Structure 1
Amino acid sequence: MSLHAHAHALLATWSAPDPEQEKLRRAYLDHLDRYSDAMWRSCLPGHLTASAAVMTASGRRTVLTLHRKLGKWLQVGGHCDEDDPSLQAAALREATEESGIADLRLLPEPVRLDRHAVPCGGGSWHLDVQFAAVAPDGAALTRDDAESVDLGWFDIDELPHPSDEACQALVRAAATAVATMDGAQRCAPSPSAADRSRS
C-alpha cells in the first residue's frame, strides 16, 4: 500500500476529538482525494506532514526544538520521505532524527491535526498529522544542527517562548494521550526498520 493510501486509511477511520478537528479531518481527506502528490512538498497547494510530541512516560515533560528557520520552540517533525510506509513511520523517523532518542514508542493514532502556512515553494500549507511518542526513562537528547538552534526537555506547564498555540495544543493533547494509554500501548513496539521495508 502506498503512503498516500495509508494516510487516507488512517484519517478515514480516525475519531476526531471535537468539531474543529473533525472539520480538519474531512479537509485532509478531500485534499488527498484531490491531489495525487498530496504527501510530497511538490504539492504547492499543501502537503501532509507528520510530527510528534516526545513525552516522558508520565506525560509531564516534553521535548521541544528551537527551529533554526522559524525561530520558535516547536515539536519535532517534518516532511515525509519516499521510504516512509505510513505517517506513523514518518513521525517516528523525524522524532528520532531530531531528538536523537532511540527506542521511542509512538502511539498509533494521531492526537490532533494542524494546518498552517509555511514558506515551502514560495508559500504553501502543511497539513500536519500529529502524534505522541514516549521516550525511555533517562533519555538523552542529541541536537540536529541543521534543523535546530537548541533542544531541551520542558515541563508541560512551563513551555519556553517563543512558541505557538498549535505546539502548545499538541503538547496538551499528547500529555492526555500518554497519561491515559493502557499497559499494552506502553509496551507495544513502534514500527521497526524491518516493518518499514516490508510495506
Structure 2
Amino acid sequence: MPPSLPHIRALLTGYLDRNPGERTALRPLLDALEAGGDPTGRAVLPGHVTCSAVVIDRDRRVLHIRHKASGDQLLCPGGHVEADDDTLLAAALREAVEEAGLPPSCLVLTPEFQGRPIDVDVHEIGPSPAKGEEAHQHYDFRFVFYLADDAPELALQAEEVAGAVWLPVEEVSSPTLRGKLTASALDGAIVPLNASAILHDGRGRYLLHLRDADKPGIWAPGCWELLGGGREPQDQSLRETIVRELSEEAGLTVGGLEPYAVESVIGTDQTRVPIEIFSGCWDGDPAQLQLTEGVMLAWVRPDQFPHMTMLPATRELLERHAAEQPAPAAGPAPPVETTSAKAPTGTVPHVVGVHLYLERDGKVLLGLRHPDSAYAGGFWHVLAGHCEAEAATACLVREAREEAGLVFDPADVDLVHTVHMREHPSDPPRIQLFFRARHWEGAPKRRERDKCLRWEWWSAKDLPEQLVPYTRAAIEGIRAGRPFTELGWTR
C-alpha cells in the first residue's frame, strides 16, 4: 500500500523544523495532508509527491541520469510513488534500481540524514496533452545515500534513461539540492551507524538475544542476535552507543568493551547498514537480567550455532570470533554444564525432552512429521525438542520459535504432564516434560520443512490414529488431570 499520511506528515514536519524558511513554498502540501487526501497519486492536482535518490560516491560526486521524458535533463534517479511503496524512502530506492540498476544493498544511509529527506524541492511540470495532464507541481522528496565500494556497474533503464554522469557537488543540477549538499559535510565516506556487542564468558559460551517476531519493521525477526542498536543524537561515539544499548535492552554493564570489527548487514529498508562490533567478557546469569526487548537471553556454545535460527552473517561473525579465542582456561566448568562430580554408582543419565501443549477451543496443535524424519516419521506429534545445556523452559521457547514461529514468555507456561519412559530396552531412559502455554503470539508456520509437513489443530476428543504413543498418553493424562505417566518399564 502507498505511504501513509502520518508517515509523509512526519517526514515533512521534521524537514520544516530543519528548514523553516521553506514553509511557505510547502504550504499547499501541508494543506493537502491536513485535508486527508492521498498526495502521492500521479493524477492528484494541482500537485503531488515524487521521490528521488541522491547517490554520492567516494569522490563526492552525485549520480545524474538523462531522463528522456524531461528532454534529456540531467536529474537524480527519481519518479512517482507507486502503490507498492510503503514509504517515501522505499520509492526513492525503487527508482534507483529501476533507472540506474543500483540495488538498495549497495546504498548506505548517511549519519546526518539517515531516512530523512535532505531536500524537498517544488518545481513546475508543464501540461502534457498526450497524457491528458494539466500543468501541476511536484513536491520532490530527495533522500541521500552513499555508494558502497563494491557497488555494481550502472545498468540504465533504456526506455527512460539516455545516459548517466557523476557530477561534482558544485555542479549538481538542482539549485536547492546543490545548496544543501554544498553546506553539508557529506563526503561519501561510509561510517558505521550502529553498534553491537559480542559478549562471551571466556569459557566458550556466547550471550545471544532471541528477537521478537511478527512485529512491524523489526530487523532479524525471530532470530538469535547480538545485543545492540543504532546511534542516538546524544551519543558522542559508538562506544557510548553500545554501552547505552546494553543498559537499555538488558540492564547490562560490561567493562572492557573493545572494538572488534566493522560488519555490514541488510536493514529493514534493504539498504546496507555498517555496524561496529565490540567484544567484551561477562560471566553472569541471563535469567537475572531485566530484558526490555525481545524474547530471551541465553548462553550458547558454537556447536549450537548451526541448529539455531540465525542470520548467516551473524553465525559467520561468531564462528570467526570463537576460532580466535584461546582454549578455555583450566578450572571448574560452568555450573549449568558441570560433569566433574561423580554420579552415584548405578545412576543412568536420562534424556530430557520438552513438549508444547497448545489447546484452542478444545483442539490441540499437532504436527505431521516428515516421512524421512529420524524419529516417528509419518506420525503426528506435538511440538517438541531435546534439552541442551539450558533450562527446560528456555529450550521450549527456542524450539517453538525455530520449529513453528511461535513466541511466548517462559513465565507463561505450566508443567502439565511428565512421561517417564523407555521405548526399547537398549534406549536411554527419557523424561518427557509437557508444558501448556497460557498465552502465545503468532500462528504456527512450517519453519523446519525437513521435519514437519504441516501443523493442524485436532479435536482433543478425536486424535489422529497415527499419533506418537507417549504423546497420546500425555494428552489423555492432561485432559484427565493426571500429572504423570510411566511407559515401557517392567515392574
TM-score of the superposed pair, with normalisation by structure 2: 0.34
One-letter identity of the residue aligned with 2:92: A
Q: Which residue of 1 aligns with 2:136?
A: 124
8 Å CA contact 1:48–1:126 kept in 2: the answer is yes
CA contact (8 A) 2:119 2:176 kept: no
Establish whether residue 143 from structure 1 lines up as the match of residue 143 from structure 2: no
Compared CA separation, residues 7 and 158, structure 1 to 2 (3 A): closer
* 1:158 Cα deviation after fit: 4.7
For 2:36 and 2:59, how far apart are their aligned partners in 1?
Answer: 36
Query: Residue 193 of structure 2 corresponds to which residue in structure 1?
Result: 184
Structure with the greater relative contact order (CA < 8 A, sep ≥ 6): 1 or 2?
1
Distance change (3 Å), C-alpha of 1:168 and 1:147: farther
Q: Aligned pair 1:165/2:166, yes or no?
A: no
Cα deviation for residue 138 of structure 1 reads 4.6
Between stretches 62-71 and 6-15, larger displacement belongs to 6-15
Cα distance change, pair 137–127 in 1 and its aligned pair in 2 (3 A): same
The residue aligned with 1:91 is 92
The one-character-per-residue Cα deviations of 1:104-141 (angstroms, maximum 9, x if unpaired) are 22431110110111136121110111110122115311
Task: Answer with 96-105 or 12-21: which moved more.
Answer: 12-21
Q: Do the aligned partners of 1:132 and 1:178 also contact (CA within 8 Å) in 2?
A: no
Contact 2:81-2:91 at 8 Å conserved across structures: yes
Larger relative strand fraction: 2
> For residues 170 and 18 of structure 1, do their structure 2 counterparts lie closer, same or farther at Cα, with a shift above 3 Å needed?
closer
Distance change in 2, residues 1:27/1:166 (3 Å) = same
* Separation (CA, whole Å) in 2 of partners of 1:97 and 1:12: 29
Structure 1 residues not aligned, in runs of 5+: 194-199
Task: State the 1:150 CA deviation.
Answer: 0.8
Moved more, 18-27 or 66-75: 18-27
Query: CA 1:181/1:135 → structure 2, altered by over 3 Å: closer, same or farther?
Result: closer
**1:156 paired residue number:** 169
Q: Say if 2:2 and 2:82, in contact at 8 Å, map to a contact too.
A: no
**What SS does the aligned partner of 1:95 have?**
helix
Gaps of 5+ in 2: 195-261, 272-491
Q: How does 1:47-126 map to 2 (within 5 A)?
A: 47-56=48-57, 58=58, 60-70=60-70, 71-102=72-103, 103=105, 104-106=107-109, 107-119=114-126, 121-126=133-138
Hey, what's the Cα distance between the residues in 1 that align with 2:89 and 2:76?
A: 15
Per the alignment, residue 229 of structure 2 pairs with: none
Q: Name the structure with the higher helix share.
A: 1
How far apart are 1:190 and its partner, in Å?
Answer: 6.0
Contact 2:52 2:140 in 1 (8 A): yes
Shift, 1:171, TM fit: 4.8
Q: CA deviation at 1:96?
A: 2.0
CA–CA separation in structure 2 for the residues paired with 1:181 and 1:108: 15
Task: Specify the alignment match of 1:196 in structure 2.
Answer: none
C-alpha distance 134-181 of structure 1, shift in aligned 2 (>3 A) = closer
